[in-house]
Amino acid sequence: MIKVGDTLPQVTFSLRENDESSNPTTADLFADKKVVLFAVPGAFTPTCSNAHLPGYISLADKLEAQGVERIICLSVNDAFVMQAWGQSQNAEHITMLADGGAEFTQAIGMAKDTGTFGGVRSGRYSMLVENGVVKLLNVEAPGKFDISDAQTMLDSL
């Protein structure tokens, strides 16, 4: 599993913004930037929609005031689902990033197989990344939501 001090793996993601598709790479998203990345098991799921994403939406300005240049929400969903979820949550200050094939999630050791429920998904975590290097990592225990929230991230900055 990825740890503090590691460089993020180079992968290509899917992204829908303003109804246009793109395929940014890890370098496009993280090079020369201070980025908060948080991952959720699934778009539109209860904890993700009721607490995890809304927390980052409400504290986006405070995170940016601490020098965070981009806030990314990642899920193993497709880019259309991530765009729709972001729109439904008014997440205009959050990059809703799709890791559709779970390539990134598997490369950092955060994949979990939920079987027939949803297949391969991401574990819940948050990280602070500076110029592609992990500076802070908060990995939740299965079924928990205690340390990957926006307030914990803000307090750590």
Residue 73 annotated in active site? no
CA dihedral 39, 45, 46, 48 (to 10 degrees): 20
| Token pair for 99 | 């890791």
Q: Which residue of the set 8, 48, 79, 82 is catalytic?
A: 48
Inter-residue contact 42 to 123 (CB < 8 Å): no
| Token pair for 83 | 């765009």
* Phi, psi for residue 105 in degrees, rounded to 5: -60, -45
**What is the number of alpha carbons within 13 Å of residue 82 lying toward its C-beta?**
26
> What is the SS3 assignment for 128?
strand
Cite the active site residues: 48
